[in-house]
């Protein structure tokens, strides 16, 4: 069977995030070929994508197949699917990979029928990208490790900060909680449709990728009263975006840490704005001046969010024990410490 290697590689790349790091469940570290689609499953998410020209059933170890295809230079390859192996030929090269003819990942039992596809609000993906960095990483409170998707808005909180992003049309399915770990992968896909099952929710792209995620069965806390904010309007100095760029060098942690890079901002009663960051390699500090005359305030925020914020606005509202930012269709409130005048250094 002649197969376009590039198209196969692209399909495998799209489903790779659904692979497990360790095979605690059979075939969760394999590419499962089911008819004309390749599927991955790791008990939390499952991703599938069509593969043109294929109509086979079986599972192949992902690492071996993926690495071998990367070593082949030709754009077209021969693939023969045999009873217990798949044989790949390219020029003088030939390789045989073990093929498990029985699909053992519990797609039918766990995910079942996808159901009716509905069109997503066209700013839904923007809402996910905006909100998921505010989710907690504390698994003792699993509901806070999720993005809450309601009929008209997406929200998230880690109990120190709250973010809400208003959708420009109603969600066509009942609200649900989506784990931030799944959202982190989902935002890489240009999803346009959604279908909701009993325990899983599914998203589809225009080119046929289906991204499925478990939903969390829990009640999200009511954040509405905390999003309301009255206080002193404050404008950051115009050079803060440049300072943040320098601070960002020392905010990034090791790539495998999973921590979101943050920056700490302190504004004292003399209008001095101090920006600091640190990681395992060093630290950064820089000050600027503003016209602020209130109590000393201090807060920590995701630096990528803060840098993106300055493309849109430099204003915020400083209230009692919290600071708030507001855009056309979003609000972001952060808890902060305060000190009365005269107690700053």
* Choices 3.40.50.150, 3.10.150.10, 3.40.50.300, 2.40.110.10: CATH for 118-225: 3.10.150.10
- Strands, DSSP E only, in 268-321? 272-279, 282-289, 296-302, 315-319
CA neighbours closer than 13 Å in the CB half-sphere of residue 345: 4
- For 266-274, what is the mean pLDDT? 94
- Prediction pTM value: 0.88
Bin 58: left if φ > 0, else alpha if -120 < ψ < 50, else beta. left
Close Cβ partners of 91 (under 8 Å, ≥ 6 residues apart): 74
Residue that has been written with the tokens 């209008």 in this structure: 271
Per-position DSSP letters for 240-266, written without gaps between them:
HHHHHHHHHTTT---TTS-PPPEEEEE
- For residue 256, count other CB atoms closer than 10 A to its CB: 6
Tell which CATH architecture fits domain 2-111: Roll (3.10)
* DSSP label of 305: H
In the chain, domain spans: 2-111, 118-225, 228-339
Instruction: Report pLDDT for 345.
Output: 42
Q: Report pLDDT digits (tens) over 50-70.
A: 998 788 899 999 999 999 999
Q: Report pLDDT digits (tens) over 325-339.
A: 998 899 999 998 776
* Choices 3.10.150.10, 3.40.50.300, 3.30.365.10, 3.50.50.60: CATH for 228-339: 3.10.150.10
What is the rounded distance in angstroms from the CA atom of residue 191 to the CA atom of residue 202?
Answer: 10
The interaxial angle of helices 5-15 and 62-71, nearest 10 deg, is: 140
What would the two tokens of residue 297 be?
């305030």
What is the rounded distance in angstroms from the CA atom of residue 37 to the CA atom of residue 48?
Answer: 6
258 — pLDDT class (breaks 50, 70, 90): low
What is the rounded distance in angstroms from the CA atom of residue 100 to the CA atom of residue 30?
Answer: 10
Question: 116-120, 125-129, 135-139: which has the minimum mean pLDDT?
Answer: 135-139
- Strands, DSSP E only, in 65-158? 76-81, 85-90, 93-98, 118-119, 146-149, 153-157
Is the sign of the CA dihedral 311, 314, 315, 316 positive or negative?
positive
Is the sign of the CA dihedral 284, 286, 292, 294 positive or negative?
positive
Q: Report pLDDT digits (tens) over 230-241.
A: 888 999 999 999
What is the rounded distance in angstroms from the CA atom of residue 295 to the CA atom of residue 268?
Answer: 7
């Amino acid at each position: 069977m002649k197969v376009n290697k590039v198209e196969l590689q692209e399909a495998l790349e799209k489903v790779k995030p659904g692979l497990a790091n360790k095979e605690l469940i059979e075939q969760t570290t394999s590419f499962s070929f089911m008819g004309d689609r390749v599927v991955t499953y790791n008990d939390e998410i499952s991703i599938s994508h069509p593969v043109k020209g294929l109509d086979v059933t079986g599972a192949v170890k992902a690492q071996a197949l993926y690495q071998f295809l990367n070593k082949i230079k030709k754009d077209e390859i021969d693939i023969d699917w045999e009873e217990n192996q798949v044989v790949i030929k390219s020029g003088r090269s030939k390789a045989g990979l073990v093929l498990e003819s029985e699909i053992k990942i519990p797609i039918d039992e766990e995910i079942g029928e996808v159901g009716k596809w509905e069109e997503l609000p066209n700013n839904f993906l923007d809402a996910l990208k905006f909100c998921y960095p505010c989710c907690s990483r504390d698994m003792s409170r699993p509901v806070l490790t999720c993005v809450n998707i309601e009929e008209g808005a997406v929200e998230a909180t880690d109990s120190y900060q709250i973010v809400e992003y208003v959708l420009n049309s109603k969600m066509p399915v009942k609200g649900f909680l989506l784990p931030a770990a799944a959202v982190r992968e989902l935002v890489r896909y240009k999803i346009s449709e959604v279908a909701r099952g009993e325990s899983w929710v599914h998203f589809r792209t225009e080119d046929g990728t289906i991204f499925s995620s478990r939903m969390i069965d829990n009640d999200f806390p009511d954040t509405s009263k905390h999003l309301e904010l009255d206080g002193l309007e404050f404008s950051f100095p115009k050079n803060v975006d440049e300072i943040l760029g320098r601070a960002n060098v020392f905010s990034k942690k090791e790539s495998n840490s999973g921590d979101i890079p943050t920056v700490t901002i302190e504004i004292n009663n003399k209008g001095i704005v101090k920006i600091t960051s640190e990681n395992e390699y060093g630290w950064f500090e820089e000050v600027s001046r503003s016209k602020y005359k209130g109590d000393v305030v201090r807060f920590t925020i995701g630096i990528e969010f803060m840098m993106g914020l300055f493309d849109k606005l430099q204003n915020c509202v400083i209230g009692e024990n919290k600071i708030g930012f507001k855009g056309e269709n979003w609000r972001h409130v952060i808890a902060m410490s305060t000190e009365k005048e005269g107690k700053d250094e």
